[in-house]
Structure 1
Amino acid sequence: MSPSPDLLAELLELAKEAAIRAGSLLRDGRPADLGVAATKSSPVDVVTEMDLASEKLILELIGERRPADGYLGEEGAERNGTSGVRWVVDPLDGTVNYLYGLHNWAVSVAAELDGRAVVGVVYAPARGELFHAVLGGGAYLDGHPVSCRPAPPWGQALVSTGFNYVQSVRVRQAEVLLHLMPEFRDIRRGGAAAVDLCDLAAGRVDGYFERGLAPWDRAAGVLIAREAGALAGGRPGQEPDGDLTVAAPPGLFEQLQQRLDEIGAWRD
């Protein structure tokens, strides 16, 4: 059964409020002496005190407004819900960019209904950009519709990607790029998966792929990219997952997905 328009509108407004409030906290509250609070998968996969503060703000806001909903957040917050709605949140996507004072970071908030993303919001405060999408309703940047670029010829594609923080995975990702670099116009690496997917939605790159994304990395961004006209998947016939996420317009998507599968971009 399709979700009601009233429910989608409620979820979208809450997602926007959560992303904007958390993003404003991150932008305006960033301490001059910001440091690493913890590490995750490797010594270079960092968490700052601001990641934790952002997640706390979002979790408390959603808990107040919709206490029966479930929640999954990057920094460890997780709860089961009873409403069928689950929020999947990256409170600071692009933490290393944020730590270094680069602008490519965002707050990503998605709402799933019965396991399917129906609302996605990505707010990039340092870029002054708010992306959103509702299932079946198109993708928007600052309230204006956006769409991905038409598929270019294979050799003219500008494709973005990212790298894992686990050294052995990064080495394999570099090997994949050795295969692909001669076949593309060029590669871009922004350092924030949610922003990369939104840039695809806005026509700023032709395609995107990455290995190792968690649900919070891709939930909002994949919905936004799809609503902008992109196809998204993992290995052929599969949904985006931790092994591989691929997104591109029809015509390029199939070629990119197949080439990545041939190279074995999903494995060590």
Structure 2
Amino acid sequence: MSDHTDGLSNAAAGAVARVDVDFTELARLAVEVAEKAGAHIRRHTPERVEVAATKSTPTDVVTAMDRDVETLIKGWVQQSRPDDGFFGEESGDHSRGELTWIVDPIDGTANYLYGIDQYAVSVAVGSRSSDESGWTMLAGAVHHVRAEKTWWAAKGHGAWQDNTRLRIGPPPGLSMSLVGTGFGYDPARRAHQARVLVEVLPQIRDIRRIGSAALDLCRVAQGQLDALYEQGLGLWDYAAGGLIVEEAGGVVRGLANGAPSPIMVIAGASGTVTALDEILIDAQAGEIPDASPS
């Protein structure tokens, strides 16, 4: 798997590189730049948002704001931490340092394009494991642009929504769990995800498809969703939100108790994730169909 899509490291992923830094200071910087980016988006969003480019398919869009905000975040981070690496979704920048900042300037771009208020800025900072097998996230922030709320976490220091500590409560059991998910852009992958959903839906309370994985993960940490599963996420989609779930007492995994990756990300309380994992394996959710002809 490429550098751009490796999952967060877990106990089996190899030793974590030693990092001598205050994780809460990293979190403060993540919050600062995420909130500044959100303010910029609110001030400068035009009356009509236009598509600037497309990526994997014609429906996988990039706006000028995505690019502008990523550039701003990179500059703000480098002012404070010039030796750190940077990995941005839109620019393709992937410089490496002892620490690397992993940024999604607008998670939920389609919502932003259509004027739906569910989109966020996601900023995380992590360290590559010493054997190059995965990442450990050290701090992260997700800023809900329209609601002006920020979730954040520092490794070993808990998860927070602004000044309120977050702790995932006792799981309700999968049959009573409200579960978030999302769908890819490629038609063949979407068809496969729909078939998986048919297997999942009868075994849970209900499904929610909000359009921002970063916000979904924060809702898991806050108790507004009981779990999330999604195929096709990039590291930038779940780096900050995944740490927030973990610091709230949850787990973030891939299929069969593996590391999260583009194949699958599952998040929630441990027992809920285990039960959902079994259903997803039975539904062959880890299959990645060949891309549809363009």
TM-score (norm: length of structure 2): 0.87
CA distance in 2, matches of 1:132, 1:76: 24
Matched, 1:106 2:120: yes
Matched, 1:23 2:43: no
Match of 1:206 in 2: 226
- Alignment check: 8 A CA contact 2:229 2:266 kept: yes
Q: Any idea what the Cα deviations from partners look like across 1:166-223, whole Å, max 9, x if unmatched?
A: 1111110000011111111100001000000000000001110000000100100110
Match of 1:34 in 2: 49
Aligned-pair Cα RMSD in Å: 1.3
- Alignment check: 8 A CA contact 1:230 1:247 kept: yes
Match of 1:258 in 2: 278
Match of 1:7 in 2: 22
- Alignment check: 8 A CA contact 1:71 1:77 kept: no
Letter in 1 for 2:93: E
Percent identical across equivalent pairs? 39
Q: Where do 1:42-191 residues align within 5 Å?
A: 42-82=57-97, 84-114=98-128, 115-191=135-211
- Alignment check: 8 A CA contact 2:24 2:139 kept: no
How far did 1:17 drift? 1.3
Q: SS of the counterpart of 2:207? A: strand
Q: Which runs of 5+ in 1 are unaligned?
A: none
How far did 1:127 drift? 1.6
Higher RCO (C-alpha under 8 Å, 6+ residues apart): 2
Q: SS of the counterpart of 2:47? A: coil
Letter in 1 for 2:262: G
Q: Which moved more, 1:147-156 or 1:94-103?
A: 147-156
How far did 1:33 drift? 2.2
Q: SS of the counterpart of 1:173? A: helix
Q: SS of the counterpart of 1:176? A: helix
Runs of 4+ that moved beyond 2 A: 1-4, 79-82
Letter in 2 for 1:88: I
Q: SS of the counterpart of 1:232? A: strand
CA distance in 2, matches of 1:167, 1:214: 18
Q: SS of the counterpart of 1:204? A: coil
Q: Any idea what the Cα deviations from partners look like across 1:100-130, whole Å, max 9, x if unmatched?
A: 1111100000000233101010000212210
- Alignment check: 8 A CA contact 2:67 2:91 kept: no
CA distance in 2, matches of 1:266, 1:180: 14
Match of 2:263 in 1: 243
How far did 1:237 drift? 3.0
CA distance in 2, matches of 1:148, 1:165: 31
CA distance in 1, matches of 2:227, 2:162: 22
- The count of residues paired between Structure 1 and Structure 2 equals 266
- Alignment check: 8 A CA contact 1:70 1:78 kept: no
Q: SS of the counterpart of 1:127? A: coil
- Alignment check: 8 A CA contact 2:199 2:279 kept: no
How far did 1:3 drift? 4.3
CA distance in 1, matches of 2:24, 2:251: 24
CA distance in 1, matches of 2:37, 2:168: 27
